[in-house]
A = this chain, B = another copy of it.
Amino acid sequence: MRDVAIIGIGHTKFGRASKTSLELFSEAALQAVDDAGVDLKDIEALFQGAALPGFEEGQVTPAAFSAAELNLGGGSIPATRYEGACASASIAIREAAEWVASGQCDMVMAGGVEKALLMGTLFATRIFAMACHAPTEGPAGLTFPGVFAMAARRYSKNYDIPLDKLREQMALVSVKNHKHGALNPLAQFYKKMGDLKVEDVINSKLVADPLTVLDCCPFSDGAAAIVLCAAEEARKYTDDPVYILGTGQGSGGALSKMKDLTKPDSRIKSARMAFKHAGLRPSDIDVLELHDCFTIAELIALESMGFFEWGEAAEATTEGQTESGGKIPVNMSGGLIGKGHPIGATGASQVYWIVKQMRGEAAKGNQIDPVPEYGMTDTLGGDFGTLCHIILGRGK
């Protein structure tokens, strides 16, 4: 198996877009090939994440039409859509890396796209709940805010943290991620809510007790794309290749069969797979983009991945350990909460922002100093149904 490098990246502005998803993905794709200094015709296969294009634009098999629109590879190349809810693009990138690593392809494009705002937040919340277990969670009327409200209550109970105290600790996640999002020109909330206070989060509109609207990421339109090639070829194209050192993927079932909503096996096993594959440990990672669909989601992700002991992430956040200069800087891009969450694009956006960090090109105020050696992404699809991790390194 060959090592794999990322040599080009592209990313649209997240938020409400007037462009179609075909146009959004094309924008990111053109940026990525331009950034890599390669031609569209050099791309041998397209791996595209898209969660709900049928419901949004009446379009399934979107990857084929993106490949055609861009005339990738001169036409008719393999183009596959991956649907793993929010983890769609991360799965696509993991598969893309596999086809390059095996030597079957030399240069490929991966990424994702979503027009989630076409549906409106209320309808999107219901439609997107189809990533819950339909036979048992559908009839219960469960949507994702409800799932994570339950997770917050479970977390509070597990570790004897009074709900009021946890409420404040969760708010700090929102404050931190909005601060970074406000500095990120491509973020949905760029120049907005950068000086949010804990009280603002607590006093905003209640969504699913104890979560308020500022505990929740928004739905978004957007796309992100990357170009991958064999590591040994990477320096032909760029002075700043970023290497895919390890990936992991895991799956889970109905919530009713989970022992503890805050300790999903799917994430634990996926993260371990990625660390084993990379030959690294959590303490090696310098920067992390993780799936903060809700503030509580950031806390429990950190523990399942091994960055903090069980029950310690909330306090660690309060201590600033997830900020720049802390033990592990988390979501310096703004994360889903500050940057936005175009479902099928999110995993590719996370990789984009780790690469930017490793190039020293993150937004001013968000860039880690010194430039990180190792970074990681964590992407969650559904209510722990699909997890995907990607570990990246600058190489020496």
Contact = CB atoms under 8 A, between A and B. Distances in A.
Contacts of A250: 76-78
Given A67-B251, A385-B64, A80 B84 contact: yes
B85 A60 contact: yes
A393 B64 CA distance: 29
A279 interface: no
Query: In the complex this chain forms, how many copies of it are found?
Result: 2
Contact of A57 (B51, B61, B80, B134): B134
A64 B84 CA distance: 8
A61 B131 contact: yes
A257 B68 contact: yes
B64 A252 contact: yes
Given A58-B138, A61-B382, 20 more contacts: A1-B102, A1-B104, A20-B135, A46-B251, A52-B60, A54-B55, A58-B130, A60-B83, A60-B85, A61-B131, A61-B381, A61-B386, A63-B84, A64-B84, A64-B381, A76-B268, A78-B250, A79-B386, A80-B84, A80-B91
A266 interface: yes
B85 A61 contact: yes
A35 interface: no
- Report whether over half of chain A's contact residues are helix, strand or loop; otherwise say mixed: mixed
A7 interface: no
A82 B81 contact: yes
A249 interface: yes
Interface in A67-112: 67-69, 75-85, 91, 95, 98-99, 101-104
A103 B98 CA distance: 11
B130 A60 contact: yes
Contacts of A54: 52, 54-55, 127, 130
Contacts of A59: 130, 133-135, 138
Nearest to A80: B91
A81 B84 contact: yes
Interface of A: 1, 20, 22, 45-46, 51-52, 54-55, 57-61, 63-65, 67-69, 75-85, 91, 95, 98-99, 101-104, 127, 130-131, 133-135, 138, 249-254, 257, 265-266, 268-270, 381-382, 385-386
Given A1-B102, A76-B265, A98-B99, A386 B83 contact: no
Contacts of A91: 80
Contacts of A55: 54
7 contacts: A54-B54, A60-B85, A61-B83, A64-B266, A77-B269, A80-B249, A82-B82
Contacts of A249: 45, 78-80
Nearest to A387: B76
A179 to B, nearest CB: 32
A250 to B, nearest CB: 5
A386 B65 CA distance: 9
A266 B76 contact: yes
A382 B59 CA distance: 11
A269 B134 contact: no
Contacts of A22: 135
Contacts of A257: 68
Contact of A104 (B81, B98, B133, B251): B98
The 9 closest A-B pairs by CB, nearest first: A68-B253, A78-B249, A102-B102, A59-B134, A64-B385, A64-B251, A79-B251, A76-B269, A76-B265
Contact of A77 (B60, B101, B251): B251
Contacts of A98: 98-99, 102, 104
